[in-house]
Amino acid sequence: MNRFLNITLFVLLLYKPQDLQAEQLPNFVIIFCDDLGYGDLGCFGHPTIRTPSLDRMAAEGQKWTNFYAPAPVCTPSRAGLLTGRLPIRNGMTSAKRVVLFPNSGGGLPQSEITIAEVLKTKGYATSCIGKWHLGHLPQFLPMQQGFDEYYGIPYSNDMHRPGGVPLMRGEEIIERPARQATVTKRYTEEALRFIRQQKDNPFFLYMPHTMPHIPLFASEKFKGKSPRGLYGDVVEEIDWSVGQILEALRELDIDKRTLVVFTSDNGPWLSFKQNGGSAGLLRAGKGTTFEGGMREPTIFWWPGRLKGGRTVSAMGSALDLLATCAALAGAQIPDDRKLDSVDLTPVMDGKQNSVRDTMFFYTRGVLHGVRKGKWKMHLLTRDPIRYGRPPQKHDPPLLYNLDFDPSEQFNIANKNKQVISDLMKLVEEHKSTLKPVEDQLAIPQPKKE
């Protein structure tokens, strides 16, 4: 008996506290594409874009078919994902400027609390690899928002200034212009380095891809290979990237304690025609609050927890990733501000059919519509191609039954006046929760003296 006790004590002494913590806490990987359409993956119905890694990910995990981006354009959508708050609450959506630009002086306020900051309280290593687009000035960069490291392009890849788009490591520009043909490959290499480096510790990897935002770039290995043309080349390289990450998790034997979420910041950029993506059966695309602008192809993968091959039709949003990651890590979410994030784990685990039944649709600082259950009401709509033009107001509002009509083709407002009335009350209740905040997108960059 004494010999057994001695051996037990010896093993416990060798087992460090951080090892115990790493064993208990899951890792998180969020892969966030740019301008990827609902219909751009094989597992979401595309006939000629080949996505074997994502198709396998969906077969082994969960395909979410009613999952929304926080906004239909880049900056506010990223702000919503990281903070779990509608961007109207933190000044990251604007009627004056649709997104942040290289001459912008604003960014995600440091008073906001990101997923990275929430997870840091539990000892997580955190990395942001890819397109940031939440402020390029030093006070707004990822390392001021809870990330231990950053590697990527600070805004959209079409935002050229003299010298071209920069590639950064930390707060330093290491390449200008960024060699964009190899950026997906290099993001992947950086992600693999971080995963291998942190394999024994709990980690959070946020990987917001630069692609398939216009202009499109693919490496030599993928360029000219897809039947879908250059756009297909780009998506197929992202699929390869996902495959590399999942394979690394398997090889390191940490796949069973790692949640990977794949989704996109908004729908396809339709004005670029064949160089843009497809929303599949959904209406419109980027810049609009129609389904094609904000409903995204989404996959959850966690071999150690999620039953494979399941299609989840419950509503979810990238807004919910903060509350979900916090719940899984046993971390506290902020209680001093209004959050729009709900914990999706009961749906992921199959214990509840739904935890989110409402989604508010904002763009350019204005509420355009709301969905509750199967009903979606539009107060304002925008041109699917020229979404920068003034919106069209609807009185009475448009109403669609998304269970019957996900393509939003048949307005049934006249036959459902009580539904319209109920949704209008919901809108007023929501507006009562809003507080005035500074418009971050309208702040000009300070002039150099």
Report the DSSP beta bridge partners of residue 377: 370, 399
11 contacts: CB under 8 Å, gap ≥ 6 = none
Which entry of 33, 46, 74, 136 is annotated as an active-site residue? Answer: 74
Q: Where are the beta strands (DSSP E) in 275-351?
A: 298-301, 310-317
CA 434 to chain centre: 23
Q: Assign 3-class secondary structure to 209-234.
A: CCCCCCCCCCCCCCCCCCCCCHHHHH
350: left (phi over 0), alpha (psi -120 to 50) or beta: left
Helix, strand or coil, per DSSP, at residue 205: strand
CA–CA separation, 281 and 408 (whole Å): 10
CA–CA separation, 53 and 242 (whole Å): 7
Surface-to-core class of residue 310, CB atoms within 10 Å of its CB (0-12 exposed, 13-18 middle, 19+ buried): middle
Which entry of 133, 136, 368, 378 is annotated as an active-site residue? Answer: 133
- The answer to whether 237 and 157 have CB atoms below 8 angstroms apart is no
118 contacts: CB under 8 Å, gap ≥ 6 = 146, 322, 325, 326, 329, 331, 332, 333, 334
Tell me, what DSSP letter sits at residue 85? S
Tokens of 204: 């959070």
In the residue annotation, 325 being an active-site residue is answered as no
- Helices then strands, each counted (H, E), the chain: 11, 14
- In this structure, the strands spanning 167-169 and 149-152 are antiparallel
In the residue annotation, 74 being an active-site residue is answered as yes
CA–CA separation, 325 and 259 (whole Å): 9
Residues catalogued as catalytic = 74, 133
